[in-house]
Structure 1
Amino acid sequence: MGKKDASATNLPVDQYRKQIGKQDYKKTKSVLKATRLKAEAKKNSSGFKADSKIEDAFLVVVAILFFVVCVYVFFYLNLSNEINMDMDVD
């Protein structure tokens, strides 16, 4: 008895999906085919494209390396000036 009552009520999401399906069905087959071909062409276009996850990981690694190099250069320049001043004092 509980299952009948639960299935009788339609969720708004299900109603929305049905409306979209009806609108999509109204399109002609040629329009649907052209849309599908366009999406596939866009997916396969421009030869080699790096995966966005790989690209993001690469950018993170480069940013970390850049930060480490900047810190290294900062300390190197500060310490090299102090050493030179010590030598000039003699």
Structure 2
Amino acid sequence: MGRKDAAGIHGSPVDQYRKQIGKQDYKKAKKSLKSTKAAHDLKKSSTPVKDTVLIVLTGLCAVVGLYFILYWYLNKEAVLDDV
């Protein structure tokens, strides 16, 4: 029973030191991994060229849609005037 008390409850100081270093390294690695993953997701999800093309295509679709609606409306009036 004397040996348990001499060894200490938490282990030797060297073991405690190693545990502390391990915890610090784990925290650093975790932060590094998070930042790398966030940078990769940001790069993957949004590119300036892709966003620009998407905005131009959306605007073009809106103009073409408006053109067809006006063409249909004006063509309908022209057909009614001819009858």
What is the one-letter code of the residue matched to 1:56? D
Q: Please state how far the C-alpha of 1:32 moved relative to its aligned partner.
A: 1.3
The DSSP-based 3-state class of the residue aligned with 2:44 is: coil
- Whole-Å Cα distance in 2 between the matches of residues 51 and 41 of structure 1? 14
Larger C-alpha radius of gyration, 1 or 2?
2
CA displacement 1:1-47 (0-9 Å, x = unmatched) = xxxxxxxxxxxxxxxxxxxxxxxxxx9233112210232234346xx
Specify which structure has the bigger relative contact order, considering alpha-carbon pairs within 8 angstroms and separated by 6 or more residues. 2
Q: Partner of 1:49 in structure 2?
A: 44
Is 1:30 aligned with 2:20? no
Q: Give unpaired runs (5+ residues) of structure 1.
A: 1-26
The alignment's C-alpha RMSD in Å is 2.7
Aligned residues with identical type, % of pairs: 25
The aligned residue for residue 66 of structure 2 is 71
- Under a length normalisation based on structure 2, what TM-score does the superposition of the two structures give? 0.51
Aligned residues: 60
- Runs of 5+ in structure 2 lacking a partner? 1-22
| Structure with higher helix content | 2
Aligned partner letter, 2:82: M
Give the Å deviation of 1:77.
1.1
Where has structure 1 moved over 4 Å in runs of 4 or more? none
Q: Which residue of 1 aligns with 2:36?
A: 40
Q: Where does residue 20 of structure 2 map in the other structure?
A: none
TM-score by length of 1: 0.48
The 3 A distance-change label for structure 1 pair 36 and 55 is same
